[in-house]
Structure 1
């Protein structure tokens, strides 16, 4: 990736009297706690709250409409355009805002463990805890790399600067604006740290395919024999949990690229959900939350400073950010060979999809484009029953290019490397949400391990229900009664009715992919 000259304004900002560049973790912890931005917890992690924004603001994210990218971006309900005039005006306001801060923090690092395609970046933050967050989430440079570091992309994060929509042309006080031409990301009006992480991921989803590299919203790990697995899934499906396996080394938990050389992590850390976290269920994540880690919106006892991971009074989207090195069994550097096994994770609250099934290439592309999971009753205002949610390629909010670009690249990779693809339902069995039960994590782990070990490659399968998925009849360590979802329901006819309802929602969602081949639709989707 070619570097670009840093603008005069950025140079002035970088050389300002108020700037702290590349502070160490202890220094950032001291700054964050002494300035009242965060508190120290019993494990040594710092805990910060993000105010009213406890998650991403997708309606406030824009791409500047520019000649170099306007014909490539998939404009629509995810990627919103904004004019270069609005960007320039806000850019100048943010620069001036940051210049007036008592202290400003700069992190220099990389996105992408593959040195041939990595992106060098710098992040300006007005909060020390935000700088600690990016220090742990992005790839930290060596001292030698730092001496020659020249940023190809810059984030300017100014949460205390709030836009005026009537004057600034935004949708609200919050804005996340990407200029691919200027190679700058503006973030204002929100303290949610995940905006910085996901903005860089969005950039990589634009830049990597141009180099013939598939960018992926997935976790990844590798076995003792070098066998690589990918885990795709939306939030809450178990992507981070299932990839954190004591018997396998973690490559990364969320963002990866797949090049001609193999898989590499885009990040240098993990951003795990902390809701209901226990050492028993997720020991690697639980033990990674120590000095230097960041807890976001987790309730902490004011006296003991012990985190209560079951308390969702601030938000259900509680998070823990920590470097990969906080986990014992990792691949360092975060690169590995080509995947042998690909797992698509879904949390089906309808209780329709089997707990594990083998996919053909056409089915893999169909379910990759669909990106299905469920929203549960009570998680959002107005939702009283489970609702099907479709996020293209299991990462729609972060994909600037048309979905078919990523799907076609995945299909070619599956063919080239003969990867086995499985659909795993971590959701409900024996009935829909409120009637059935959530699939036991121990069963899901057993099914995933069997898939990774090749124990399901030649087993007998049933083609259950309207989805025509190949369901293994036996999986070591899992009762056969839970494998076929229709058998797990007390009323098989009620199952058939619910399965047809969900199949119709799949079909309706897939209608938006007008350019997809008929073979994927006819061989990959539900039976008509």
Structure 2
């Protein structure tokens, strides 16, 4: 039987290497030829055919602990206890037969009041370096007293048999909340380690009245906190890396009655087309100790070629948050003043920026609309319209209504301004005349929103989506603010916008528990159809 917390006596393994320093891990990585040392000092690993998450291969063990809490369905697929027990034994037997294993002991959660002690045991040294950079590393005293409350076992070389192991493929990511164990096998993509722990925090924190959020966060000179919600590729990491504001974190946070805290100790940035000119903070953060995932290298200089998509568009860089120039240490701050929902709209019809009422904020939080970008998940080769509740449905074990109700309560309690910003296309749809909105324009919109410059400006009503569009934003061409004005053919715009509006309505039908005022806060077009 599986012991709770995965407390198999790993110490009996003759070569269990624990909390190795970054240089020692890099020595191991290079000696075992797991990855390449680049000219920047970062190591570069490739992950084979799995260059993104495998959501269809993710399961939660259905038992007495999870039965009545987990929102079971296509996202939270169930697997029975007996099947988990068998797969756990196979995975541990496989790991015990490896010459060396690597263990990282650390934490998730920068606020000591809510942090989760965890351990990550990996087959690959570079996966352990990844965990060290993404989670919070303990000091000597914390390490001496560390008692892991959750264990991740990463065995990419162990291949499941779908018939005998009852998985969907050779790959599996399985969470047992009862045993407090995560099994990962059949995939080398390191992002599964990070996101599985985020799923755990999304399960545990609400039980302590803390809202877990898939968002980045930063803070201004006067202590004003901003949250940036959005799915992968919408700009959370880029927009929160602001030279004029200090970074709290780039992807995962908790919001308690004490304020906001980073769940992680590092950043996991998409680096497709990364350049020093456009994103200097992220570019300069990728140095010795950083992990590059599936980034192509110049064959002569060994410099990263961030424009090369030969391996995948989902190229990634993992680095400690301290590599950024302007960060909050420790990664905790006060109550938020502003929330920005980010969406990368491939239809090119959503306004670049709009201010939301409290009802619209709840509507768009539950909707979580974006266009899923190429490479983020296996099989996605071009943007696809998708709705991901709370901008993070793949990582939410509980019902979306749990998180939405918590957010709505906090928005009202702290009088938070909420904006919807489209970082996607304008002037046409993706591949049909549209262009990606310039980052400089998006930054100008963010600055104006956070500075309060849009609180009292005149607005224009978007007659299809029912959103209030600022008449002007400093630094942004006026014709871009109203999407219809940027299209060459108004009929094409109307058609695409109406189609997207109906997708919103069709998606929201499942949120029957939402109040009438929230249900009526969606697009105007199609509301009574």
- Measured against the shorter chain, the TM-score band is over 0.9
Identify which of 241, 245, 264 aligns with 1:244.
Answer: 241
SS in 2 for 1:523: coil
Identify which of 19, 30, 42 aligns with 1:22.
Answer: 19
What CA distance in whole angstroms lies between the structure 1 residues aligned with 2:414 and 2:22? 41
Residue 491 of structure 1: CA displacement? 2.9
Unaligned runs of 5+ in 2: none
Q: How does 1:46-445 map to 2 (within 5 A)?
A: 46-375=43-372, 387-433=384-430, 434-445=432-443
Residues 96, 380 of structure 1: alpha-carbon distance in 2 compared, 3 angstrom cutoff: closer
SS in 2 for 1:330: coil
Residues 282, 473 of structure 1: alpha-carbon distance in 2 compared, 3 angstrom cutoff: same
Residues 386, 152 of structure 1: alpha-carbon distance in 2 compared, 3 angstrom cutoff: closer
Aligned length: 524
SS in 2 for 1:357: strand
Q: 8 Å contact 1:426–1:444 — kept in the other structure?
A: yes
Q: TM-score, normalised by structure 1?
A: 0.96
Residues 490, 212 of structure 1: alpha-carbon distance in 2 compared, 3 angstrom cutoff: same
What CA distance in whole angstroms lies between the structure 1 residues aligned with 2:99 and 2:33? 14
What CA distance in whole angstroms lies between the structure 2 residues aligned with 1:463 and 1:9? 55
Identify which of 32, 37, 41 aligns with 1:44.
Answer: 41
Q: Which moved more, 1:9-18 or 1:248-257?
A: 9-18
Q: 8 Å contact 1:9–1:95 — kept in the other structure?
A: no
Residue 382 of structure 1: CA displacement? 9.4
Residue 495 of structure 1: CA displacement? 2.0
Q: 8 Å contact 1:356–1:447 — kept in the other structure?
A: yes
Q: Could you report, residue by residue, the CA deviation over 1:469-494 in whole angstroms, capped at 9, with x for unpaired residues?
A: 11000111112111111222223343
Residues 382, 405 of structure 1: alpha-carbon distance in 2 compared, 3 angstrom cutoff: closer
What CA distance in whole angstroms lies between the structure 2 residues aligned with 1:12 and 1:437? 56
Residue 420 of structure 1: CA displacement? 0.3
Unaligned runs of 5+ in 1: none
What CA distance in whole angstroms lies between the structure 2 residues aligned with 1:317 and 1:158? 22
What CA distance in whole angstroms lies between the structure 2 residues aligned with 1:8 and 1:412? 34
What CA distance in whole angstroms lies between the structure 2 residues aligned with 1:235 and 1:354? 20
Q: TM-score, normalised by structure 2?
A: 0.96
What CA distance in whole angstroms lies between the structure 1 residues aligned with 2:343 and 2:456? 24
Q: Could you report, residue by residue, the CA deviation over 1:173-195 in whole angstroms, capped at 9, with x for unpaired residues?
A: 11111110000001111110000
Q: 8 Å contact 1:125–1:131 — kept in the other structure?
A: yes
SS in 2 for 1:162: coil
Structure 2 residue aligned with 1:504: 502
Q: Which moved more, 1:40-49 or 1:486-495?
A: 486-495
Residue 15 of structure 1: CA displacement? 3.4
What CA distance in whole angstroms lies between the structure 1 residues aligned with 2:353 and 2:401? 25
